[in-house]
């Protein structure tokens, strides 16, 4: 081995090798100053693989011409990655609190096989080209083109969004998923990479039998790619899911074991959303739309990639979604991508310039959000206006550029892009919005430059009237920065997931993980609240109380975050019998007007203090950990003796959550006749009653509840959605 290292040192001292090595090493070191690449993990490893793919051959060829052996060749190429890894390790260790080894597993799995195969291909090309530079460059260009085609074709022609490449490594799909792990499919694929590299080395050294065996083993793994999980086809995914249904231009692939009732509900949801989009656009392009419906994020990651990210492939007119309940919260958004493909630029059916090859991500996603028009507590425009009040609104014109969109926290990016494009449709017409989807050229579609349109839009946001409660809601929803902004984001995502898995089995270990999360992201209150909750479960109430008190002090200038900590502290005080402390905190929460959810909870908890006997016990049981069925039973018993608001409201809520819609409606309707019902409780009771009316098939009751004009534009829009759905489902 000493002789090999001596030979590597000698090779690195040769001028041609030195120049190529320094260039490669310098470029990789520069990468460590980009977001997420300051840590020796997935991002840096993947980027290094790409650098080696395009620059590694020059280094390998230079070493091969000096007579380097396969092992020496690999070590020379591999050594060019070491400076960047050292720089990343030092920057992480000395410049942050992150663990430099948090995602270190990706380094050997990605970089070593890539260095091996690049060296193997370089050795083979050097052997074939006989040192003719033009032939060498041409052969390597063919290798890269073939490798790229083998990787890109499954992405274009099949359902997968993960990508495996023997030279460039691995992409797990859209990187909105913060928690990354090394799947077994990647290990199988990298084994194939190593076998290919060793086979090429053997053939170059004229060990033909060994070379043939190794290449045959490589091909054996390659041809079983679908079974091993690094390649997917429509047939393999359909077989894995097990169920398929085709109806009226809609093809639904669903997981086996799902009940007929669930399938029928999903089909009804899809048909209604397609109907809504037809009405919004005024027309729907012909052709089938395919929906792939997965049982869980893990199943989706294993079969096609993108565990928690729902996605569409517009050019295939298909969408891939997890099971997220009814109505599905994002299926309408994804259907827009599939439906709008004929209005987009070929070949991918999205807003793109340069012959359809440069996508305009802000337009693509904003178009889908605008057509979807998701309604929560606020409308799209209200959310955007509230962001502006809290100085969270991104630069709208910049947001319409790929770098601006991806550099903005995705919750803000999607909401603002959708609000902006919906405002354009409302003020300039849907025809112009459809025209924009061709190439993202605002001036061509609207007759005005993008900065002018963006300026007019922000003026519109300034004109919207918002309450303090609505502004605080926006801060609570959009305060988190992007993946690029949050310290140690990958590590914290993994630690949080591990802590969640350990809560029941090993709460002490879970506590240590949460404490680490809090140390890494001290400004993020969710970690402290999770730790306080676990301390309560462990009986360490004094520690939980001290932690929450410190959070209340730290967050005194952040009303939304303070409210979350105050609610947890009030619950702890109530359990400890400190009713005066709990009451004072709940009253403070009401005065702050943080959000309807917090206001409702504070109101109900305060009213609970006025109850006694069975009613008080049932209300207290509702807010304590325990069986949901037991909570429902206790509230039913209490309702026989008490007509108090907390009992009836909580019972109606529990019954609707348990899908006992007829019984829920019987409880909620009389409650809504109470003129003294607090507005926050009245609004939520009406929302629950509307859902109960839908599930019990009573469209007329939805109509009556919708037109009360008591709860604002967002409530009426959401109620109208339920009413339209109810009427659509009753159509013959």
311 backbone dihedrals φ, ψ, rounded to 5°? -150, 165
Which carries the bigger pLDDT value, residue 645 or residue 286?
A: 645
| Main-chain dihedrals φ then ψ at residue 22, nearest 5 degrees | -60, -40
Mean pLDDT of 91-101: 88
How wide is the angle at C-alpha 712 spanned by C-alphas 708 and 718, nearest 5°?
A: 85
Q: Which of 8-17, 194-203, 457-466 has the lowest mean pLDDT?
A: 8-17
**What's the CATH superfamily of 233-343?**
Collagenase ColT, N-terminal domain (3.40.30.160)
Question: Exposed/middle/buried for 410, CB within 10 Å: 0-12, 13-18, 19+?
Answer: middle
- Whether 709 has a pLDDT exceeding 60, the answer reads no
Query: 544: part of which helix (H) or strand (E)?
Result: helix 541-554
Give tens-digit pLDDT for 439-470. 999 999 999 999 999 999 999 999 999 888 78
Report the share of the chain in percent with pLDDT over 90. 58
pLDDT digits (tens, 9 = 90+) for 404-441: 888 788 889 999 999 999 999 999 998 999 999 999 99
Q: What count of residues does the chain have?
A: 732
Residues 645 and 619 sit within 8 Å (Cβ to Cβ): no
Least confident of 67-76, 108-117, 232-241: 67-76
Alpha-carbon dihedral sign for residues 486, 491, 492, 494? positive
Model confidence pLDDT, tens digit, residues 218-275? 999 999 999 999 999 999 999 999 999 998 889 999 999 999 999 999 999 999 999 9
Q: Six-digit token pair at 217?
A: 């083993």
Nearest CA-CA partner of 561 in 490, 478, 491, 499: 478
pLDDT number for residue 470: 81
pLDDT of residue 177: 66
Rounded-to-integer distance, Cα 393 and Cα 405, Å? 12
Average pLDDT over every residue of 525-548: 90
User: How far is residue 551's CA from residue 525's CA, in Å, rounded to a whole number?
Assistant: 8
Higher local confidence (pLDDT), 204 or 127: 204
pLDDT value of residue 175: 63
Residue 184: the pLDDT is: 94
Strand partners for 353: 358
Q: Is the pLDDT of residue 708 over 80?
A: no
Mean pLDDT of the chain, nearest integer: 89
At 485 the pLDDT is 59
- Asked if 459 and 546 count as a contact pair (C-beta separation under 8 A), the reply is no
Bridge partners of 242? 255
- Cα separation, 306 vs 554, whole angstroms: 36
pLDDT at position 423, please?
A: 96
Of the candidates 334, 449, 337, 335, the one whose C-alpha atom is nearest the C-alpha of residue 400 is 449
Is pLDDT above 80 for 513? yes
In this predicted structure, what is the pLDDT of residue 173?
A: 81
- Taking the alpha carbons at both ends of the chain, their separation in whole angstroms is 79
Per-residue model confidence (pLDDT) at position 181: 85
138-162 pLDDT, tens per residue?
A: 888 899 999 999 999 999 999 999 9
**Which pLDDT score, from 0 to 100, does residue 34 have?**
86
349 φ/ψ sector (left φ>0, alpha ψ -120 to 50, else beta): left
The per-residue pLDDT for range 604-628, each reduced to its tens digit, is 999 999 999 999 999 889 988 888 9
> Given the DSSP bridges, would you call strands 311-313 and 318-322 parallel, antiparallel or unpaired?
antiparallel
Rounded to an integer, what is the distance from CA 48 to the centroid of its chain? 25
Checking if the pLDDT of 170 tops 90, the result is: yes
Architecture of domain 486-609: Alpha Horseshoe (1.25)
Please give the radius of gyration of the chain, using alpha carbons only, rounded to the nearest integer.
Answer: 30
pLDDT interval class at 481 (50, 70, 90): low
Between 222 and 285, the higher pLDDT residue = 222
pLDDT at 483: 53
pLDDT of residue 593: 82
What Å distances lie between residue 214 and 140, 195, 196, CA to CA? Answer: 22, 6, 7
Q: Please choose, from the candidates 396, 384, 257, 254, the residue with its C-alpha nearest in 3D space to the C-alpha of residue 331.
A: 254
Mean pLDDT of 513-530: 87
User: What DSSP line would sit under 115-141, residue for residue?
Assistant: HHHHHHHHHHHHHHHTT-HHHHHHHHH
Chain-centroid distance of CA 667 in Å reads 38
Determine the Cα angle at 182 with ends 223 and 158, to 5°: 45
Contact 379, 717 (CB under 8 A): yes
pLDDT at position 134 is 80
Give pLDDT, residue 413: 92
State what percent of residues in the chain have pLDDT above 70: 98
Region 166-179 average pLDDT: 81
> Taking the domains of the chain in order of start, what are their residue ranges?
2-228, 233-343, 352-466, 486-609
* Distance, CA of 251 to CA of 241 (rounded, Å): 14
Instruction: Record the pTM.
Output: 0.86
Check residue 174 and report its DSSP letter: -
- For the ranges 76-80, 323-327, 613-617, 707-711, the lowest mean pLDDT is seen at 707-711
Helix (H) or strand (E) holding 470: helix 468-478
Q: What is the pLDDT of residue 488?
A: 80
Angle, nearest 10°, between helix axes 699-706 and 661-672? 30
Nearest CA-CA partner of 655 in 683, 685, 676: 685
> Is the bond preceding residue 347 a cis peptide, omega within 30 degrees?
yes
Q: How far apart are CA 316 and CA 666, in angstroms?
A: 47
312 backbone dihedrals φ, ψ, rounded to 5°: -130, 155
Mean pLDDT across 573-582 = 92
Which has the minimum average pLDDT: 32-36, 643-647, 674-678, 708-712?
Answer: 708-712
């Amino acid at each position: 081995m000493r002789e090999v290292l001596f030979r590597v040192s000698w090779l690195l001292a040769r001028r041609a090798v030195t120049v190529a090595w320094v260039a490669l090493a310098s470029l990789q070191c520069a990468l460590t100053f980009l977001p997420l690449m300051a840590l020796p993990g997935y991002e840096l490893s993947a980027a290094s693989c790409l650098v080696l793919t395009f620059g590694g051959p020059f280094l390998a060829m230079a070493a091969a011409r000096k007579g380097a052996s396969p092992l020496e060749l690999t070590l020379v190429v591999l050594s060019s990655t070491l400076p960047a890894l050292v720089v990343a390790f030092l920057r992480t260790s000395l410049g942050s609190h992150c663990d430099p080894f948090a995602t270190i597993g990706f380094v050997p799995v990605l970089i070593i096989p890539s260095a091996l195969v690049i060296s193997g291909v370089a050795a083979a090309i050097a052997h074939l080209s006989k040192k003719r530079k033009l032939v060498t460059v041409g052969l390597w260009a063919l290798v890269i083109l073939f490798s790229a085609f083998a990787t890109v074709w499954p992405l274009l022609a099949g359902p997968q969004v993960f990508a495996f490449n023997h030279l460039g490594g691995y992409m797990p799909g859209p990187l909105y998923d913060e928690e990354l792990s090394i799947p077994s499919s990647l290990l199988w694929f990298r084994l194939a990479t190593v076998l290919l590299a060793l086979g090429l080395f053997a053939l170059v050294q004229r060990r033909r039998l060994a070379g043939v065996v190794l290449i045959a083993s490589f091909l054996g793994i390659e041809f079983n790619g679908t079974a091993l999980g690094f390649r997917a086809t429509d047939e393999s995914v359909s077989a894995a899911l097990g169920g398929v249904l085709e109806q009226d231009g809609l093809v639904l692939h669903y997981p086996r074991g799902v009940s007929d009732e669930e399938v029928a509900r999903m089909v009804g949801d899809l048909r209604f959303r397609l109907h809504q989009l037809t009405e919004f656009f005024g027309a729907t392009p012909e052709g089938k739309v395919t929906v792939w419906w997965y049982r869980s994020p893990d199943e989706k990651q294993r079969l096609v990639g993108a565990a928690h990210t729902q996605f569409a492939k517009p050019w295939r007119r298909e969408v891939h979604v997890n099971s997220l309940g009814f109505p599905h919260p994002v299926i309408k958004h994804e259907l827009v991508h599939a439906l709008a493909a004929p209005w987009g630029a070929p070949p991918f059916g999205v807003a793109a310039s340069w012959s359809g090859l440069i996508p305009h991500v802000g337009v693509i996603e904003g178009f889908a959000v605008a057509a979807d028009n998701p309604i929560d507590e606020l409308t799209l425009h209200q959310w955007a206006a509230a962001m502006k009040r809290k100085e969270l609104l991104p630069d709208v014109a910049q947001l319409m550029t790929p770098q601006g969109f991806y550099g903005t926290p995705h919750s803000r990016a999607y909401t603002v892009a959708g609000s902006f494009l919906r405002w354009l449709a409302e003020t300039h017409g849907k025809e112009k919005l459809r025209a924009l989807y061709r190439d993202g050229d605002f001036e061509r579609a609207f007759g005005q430059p993008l900065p002018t349109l963006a300026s007019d839009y922000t003026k519109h946001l300034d004109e919207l009237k918002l309450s303090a409660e609505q502004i605080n809601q926006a801060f609570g929803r959009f305060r988190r920065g992007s993946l690029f902004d949050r310290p140690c984001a990958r590590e914290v995502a993994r630690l949080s997931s591990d802590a969640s898995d350990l809560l029941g089995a090993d709460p002490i270990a879970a506590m240590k993980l949460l404490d680490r999360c809090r140390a890494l992201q001290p400004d993020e209150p969710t970690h402290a609240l999770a730790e306080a909750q676990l301390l309560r479960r462990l009986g360490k109430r004094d520690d939980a109380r001290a932690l929450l008190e410190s959070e209340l002090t730290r967050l005194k200038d952040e009303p939304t975050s303070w409210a979350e900590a105050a609610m947890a502290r009030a619950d702890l005080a109530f359990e400890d019998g400190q009713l005066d402390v709990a009451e004072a905190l709940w009253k403070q929460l009401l005065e702050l007007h943080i959000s309807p959810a917090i206001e409702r909870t504070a109101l109900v908890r305060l009213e609970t203090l006025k109850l006694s006997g069975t009613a008080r016990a049932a209300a207290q049981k509702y807010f304590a950990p325990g069986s949901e069925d037991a909570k429902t039973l206790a509230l039913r018993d209490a309702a026989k003796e008490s007509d108090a608001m907390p009992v009836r409201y909580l019972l109606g809520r529990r019954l609707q959550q348990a899908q006992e819609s007829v019984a829920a409606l019987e409880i909620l309707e009389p409650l809504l006749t109470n003129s003294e019902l607090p507005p926050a409780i009245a609004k939520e009771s009406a929302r629950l009653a509307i859902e109960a009316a839908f599930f019990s098939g009573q469209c007329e009751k939805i109509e009556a509840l919708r037109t009360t004009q008591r709860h604002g534009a967002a409530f009426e829009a959401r109620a109208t959605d339920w009413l339209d759905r109810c009427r659509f489902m009753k159509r013959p």
